[in-house]
Amino acid sequence: MNIMITGGCGYIGSHVTISLEKLGHNITIYDNFSNSNKDQIKRLDLICTSNIDYICADITDTKSLKNILKDKKIESVVHMAGLKYVGDSESDPISYYENNVSGTISLLKAMNECEIKNLVFSSSATVYGEPEYLPIDENHSTSPISVYGRTKLYVENILKDLSLSDPDWSIICLRYFNPAGAHHSGFIGEEITSKSENLFPTIGKVLSGITPSLKVYGRDYQTHDGTGIRDYIHVSDLSEGHAMSVEYVNNNKGIENINLGRGHGYSVLEVIKSFEKITKKKIPYEFAEFRSGDISSSFADVTKAKQILGWIATRDLDDMCKSMWYYDQNKDSIF
Ligand code: NAD
Ligand code: UD1
């Protein structure tokens, strides 16, 4: 099948590219490289056996999208391009609405005009906001607490309206919990930038000496060790979930929201412990105030992913820490 992956050179997109290419699909990546490096092309080409087409363009450019969709005879789209930093979204909401919401509308217009109606969209568990119960299933209410989260929910609602207006569309919104880890080759992983605020890249900064110690946000949560609990999911499991979603949208119509997580949470202290075991390094940390907008615990009910996609995550926390550490050690050795 001919598949276009918007944002395919990013952290998750590059792993999704690998999973889909492995299954024999022809991949076109559409990325403006605003949050990825062109080195990513060399890295992907080292892992993939067939030719990937790389298009450097912006999703807000509907005309360019239409040309590519037609030229490459695209049959399905995995839409991952977007801006993702929560702090950044609060200080620059216009860019977030423009990229994430207007960019998606531009893509939908292009797809509609080209009669391509199979779509897998990267949403986020952040659409749920403060959990009312755990584990969180897809029927949980949605009330995102950041601009970033609201851009994801607006897009989900647009997709719902689109699906209601035209039964030929087939759409899955994947609500990722906390993606972590790297490809086992050590060639592909998450780039640590000055905007990275998530736990795994921040631990990466401490391990590589960029930051002297980790701030653990909050020690008095109602959890077994007082620190926040999240459902970390290995990026390779996540990408396999996308491959199964592409398969599903090609054989079914309508729209589904599906959680992708492990269905199990780990605390911040457990993540630190796992990294210390794997790297045999001490991770200095200090307790700090709660981070604004943080919640105590979040983990997924993954029944629907298993029922609808036949997907289940198989890699555990140690696998995530090990692969991230291997990538951090190995990533510069290929150039
Ligand atoms: P990323 O920033 O690594 O990748 C996004 C890619 O999209 C980058 O290569 C960037 O250059 C490209 N891009 C951004 N705006 C674009 C535009 N206007 N036109 C063309 N390309 C554009 O992010 P990621 O971590 O790989 O996340 C992928 C998707 O998954 C995003 O939509 C993100 O919101 C969503 N998501 C990520 C997480 C996470 O923790 N990483 C969690 C939930 C959801
Ligand atoms: C964050 C975002 C969320 C986004 C998700 C995945 C906030 C408030 N929420 O969620 O919208 O969907 O990333 O991209 O930013 N922690 C520390 N020290 C750190 C970093 C994190 O103790 O330096 C703790 C946090 O308090 C939390 C856990 O580690 O308990 C995980 O944090 P993080 O990786 O940022 O993910 P989320 O909080 O789930």
Q: Which ligand 2 atom sits closest to the C-alpha of 298?
A: 39
Instruction: Name the average pLDDT for the chain.
Output: 97
- Which tens digit of pLDDT belongs to each residue from 171-227? 999 999 999 999 999 999 999 888 888 999 999 999 999 999 999 999 999 999 999
Largest CA distance in the chain: 56
Phi, psi of 171 (to 5 degrees): -135, 140
Q: Is 188 in the pocket of ligand 1 (CB under 6 A)?
A: no
- Which tens digit of pLDDT belongs to each residue from 259-305? 999 999 999 999 999 999 999 999 999 999 999 889 999 999 999 99
Peptide bond into 135 cis (omega under 30): yes
For the record, the structure tokens of 187 come out as 């060639």
Ligand nearest to C-alpha 180: 1
**Which pLDDT belongs to residue 333?**
86
**Which pLDDT belongs to residue 193?**
86
**Which pLDDT belongs to residue 194?**
85
Sheet holding 26-31, edge to edge: 53-56, 26-31, 2-6, 76-79, 118-124, 170-176, 254-260
Please tell me whether the overall predicted TM-score, pTM, comes out greater than 0.75 for this model: yes
How many Å lie between the centroid of ligand 2 and the Cα of residue 25? 34
Residue 60 CA to residue 123 CA, distance in Å, equals 18
How many Å lie between the centroid of ligand 2 and the Cα of residue 199? 6
Closest residue to atom 30 of ligand 2, CA basis: 228
- Residue where the block lists tokens 């412990």: 273
Q: Which ligand 2 atom sits closest to the C-alpha of 145?
A: 11
User: What torsion do the CA atoms of 292, 296, 302, 305 make, to the nearest 10 degrees?
Assistant: 0
Q: Is 10 in the pocket of ligand 1 (CB under 6 A)?
A: yes
Q: Which ligand 1 atom sits closest to the C-alpha of 14?
A: 26
**Which pLDDT belongs to residue 155?**
98
Mutation to probe ligand 2, out of 294, 295, 298, 324 (largest number of atoms < 8 A from CB):
294
Give yes or no for residue 76 having a pLDDT over 80. Answer: yes
Q: Is 84 in the pocket of ligand 1 (CB under 6 A)?
A: yes
**Which pLDDT belongs to residue 268?**
98
Residue 46 CA to residue 214 CA, distance in Å, equals 34
